[in-house]
A and B are shown apart, each in its own frame.
Chain A
Amino acid sequence: MNRINKKLKEDKKLLSIYFTAGYPDINDTVGIIESLEKNGVDMIEIGLPFSDPLADGPTIQASSTKALKNGMTTEVLFDQLKDVRKTVSIPLLIMGYFNPILQYGVEAFCKKCAEVGIDGLIIPDLPVDVYNEQYKSIFERHGIINVFLITPQTSEERIRFIDSISKGFIYMVSSASVTGSNSGFGDVQTDYFERIYQMKLKNPQVIGFGISDYKSFSQATQYAKGAIIGSAFVKHLTTKGSDDTQHFISSLLQPQE
């Protein structure tokens, strides 16, 4: 069984962290993954940086630009990850835009993911229908789970369809926004969380976008199996560097004074 599915069966709310590979320094990738696991993170999205990240706000844009300047490429990332499964056992996903994956070759990319122990992919600009018609069999052949997004504007019919083709979890974008927008959820979001919860989908949901602290994490996980924190952690890396993940993670799991 894929590590993602196994993790989703655990009887707990899942904390998932996103960070950009090769940021702040090119060789920080594996160290950050190891320290996130050590400090209790359940799942990690490793960002493959892209020059034009359409769905990302300023924080992740800046980290992507820096990572590319640092020399991060698809090849370098796979090389950094080649021994990661000797030390890390939680599910690992790569989150990236489609063009770099297309240039690497979708088949070659999935094969390499399987080799190094990547369990799933999140590709925001790979549309559901294109995946279904052209790439599904490749992903399945290599045992890679493709995670789809839904948003507050996604119709019920489309959510049902996405649920029917999903094999791991559904990535619920919390609000109509790019990454890194204001945290704290109002009635609009909680109504949406409640609506999705009531749909009783077959795949668990993990909420992302706009989650940055204990409060928003707890709110989101009242309705969903887990939550993803990205920009807030990248900001932490920017100000505190890669050596101090413990403090950041514990602040998410316990209420702060």
Chain B
Amino acid sequence: MTYNINNKGYYGEFGGAYIPEMLYPNVEELRQNYLKVMAEPEFQEEFNALLKDYVGRPSPLYFAKRLSVKYNTKIYLKREDLNHTGAHKINNTVGQILMAKRLGKNRIIAETGAGQHGVATATVCALMGLECIVYMGEIDIARQAPNVARMKMLGATVIPALSGSRTLKDATNEAIRDWINNPVDTHYIIGSVVGPHPYPDMVARFQAIVSEEIQWQLKEKEGTTKPDYVVACVGGGSNAAGAFYHFLEDTEVKLIAVEAAGKGVHSGESAATSILGKEGIIHGSKTLLMQTPDGQITEPYSISAGLDYPGVGPMHAHLYKSGRAEFVAITDDDAMTAGLELCKMEGIIPAIESSHALAVFEHKKFKSSDIVVVSLSGRGDKDLETYIQHFGL
């Protein structure tokens, strides 16, 4: 069995491009070109130079000594939080902006939930001098004011998504509608490994730098390229896709995907898509998604805006269904506790998304000899308000 994408754009039974005909020329143009463009030496050179000098890569692989002592196992943190703009999201936007330029597009659209992907997109658009329009749910705009301000400072236009539940799902719908309305000059920078083929694969490839670095960094520190476990949180799944990418086919490396259980998997307020979801179509992809028996997409809930998505990328749906990755659901409370623990024990304030991954150590016992790499996908600056409220700081 392979865990990578096949030549028809599917991971096992998941993926594909379930799009209206209006989007066909755009998506087809991308499908025909993305591998070719990414393989060009000049593209590689430009991408790698920007990752190094602009994003600040490689991001450190940090041995978390005190945490390792506490949980009696070897814990390494992959420090995506130290990237420019504060999360792994920028790896993908740098790649896609270069792709957009190669395809001759001069107008960029994006969706954003918490605003991290919106900021990362606005950043690269400023870098390249391209027009940037970010769709963001009206409710998210209200609760993520600092990121809205950042996007505006970076020159982006933020358009509120007023339809449906007015959150990430609806922002994505609005971005797709914009692309239908602007089929020639516009590139849609999707922020996760979701959407129609080739997006899940393209975004995974741009994020794959994370696991590529883990391999050689671990070789330096531990004399092996193989951790025993790689742990990452999953909303749409881009940071997990990056952290897992080079280990997908090596089943000696165990993969753990951490989803947001919200107030409890069966509380009715959860975003644990693999457990609560059923096969269906969301945003152009066949995958697992939370829906009513009648096929209407339902609203997820998580304290973390970045995990608050009713679907999951098709790669992860396949990893779940095939049993290649273990899926763990972590509640709001457990994630917040794990986040605060990292602050106190390692002096690192993590994004609440990443705190979900850190909570795996209370959930699961590892051997003392195990090497466990956790993707610390983002920093917690954006979440201070939530931390303050949660702990009454």
Contacts and interface: CB of A to CB of B under 8 A. Distances in A.
Contact of B180 (A97, A99, A100, A177): A177
A149 B22 CA distance: 8
In the complex, which range does the number of interface residues on chain A fall in?
A: 35 or more
Contacts of A65: 163-164
A102 B163 CA distance: 24
A65 B183 CA distance: 27
Contact of B18 (A126, A173, A176): A126
B176 A54 contact: yes
Nearest to A103: B295
Given A151-B21, A155-B25, A125 B291 contact: no
Interface string B1-20: 00000000000000011111
A149 B20 contact: yes
B296 A100 contact: yes
Contacts of A124: 20-21
Interface residues of B, number: 35
Interface string A134-164: 0000000000000011110111001000000
Contacts of B297: 51-52, 99
B294 A130 contact: no
Most chain-B CB neighbours within 10 Å: which of A54, A58, A68, A150? A54
A216 interface: no
A98 interface: yes
Most chain-A CB neighbours within 10 Å: which of B20, B169, B177? B20
Contact of A125 (B20, B183, B296): B20
Interface in B332-382: none
A73 B292 CA distance: 10
B296 A51 contact: yes
Nearest to B178: A178
B44 interface: no
B280 interface: yes
Contacts of B280: 99, 102-103
A57 B163 CA distance: 10
Contact of A99 (B25, B177, B281): B281
Interface string A28-59: 00000000000000000000001111110110
Interface in A169-191: 173, 176-178, 181
B14 to A, nearest CB: 13
B21 A98 contact: no
B20 A153 contact: no
Contact of B169 (A52, A125, A126, A127): A52
B295 A102 contact: yes
A245 interface: no
B181 interface: yes
Contacts of B169: 52
Most chain-A CB neighbours within 10 Å: which of B18, B22, B293? B22
B294 A52 contact: no
Contacts of A58: 163
A149 B25 CA distance: 13
Interface string B62-104: 0000000000000000000000000000000000000000000
A173 B170 CA distance: 23
A53 B25 CA distance: 20
Nearest to A74: B294
B18 A127 contact: yes
Interface in A220-236: none
B282 interface: yes
Interface in A197-216: none
Interface string B165-201: 0000110010011001111100000000000000000
Contacts of A16: none
B173 A176 contact: no
Nearest to A151: B22
A153 B25 CA distance: 7
Contacts of A97: 281
B163 A61 contact: yes
A203 B183 CA distance: 26
Contacts of B17: 127
B24 interface: yes
Given A55-B180, A151-B22, A75 B294 contact: yes
A127 B286 CA distance: 12
10 contacts: A52-B169, A58-B163, A73-B294, A125-B281, A130-B18, A149-B22, A150-B21, A151-B22, A155-B25, A177-B181
Interface of B: 16-22, 24-25, 163-164, 169-170, 173, 176-177, 180-184, 278-284, 291, 293-298
Ranked nearest first, the 6 interchain pairs of A and B with the lowest CB-CB distance are A100-B295, A103-B295, A149-B21, A124-B20, A51-B296, A153-B25
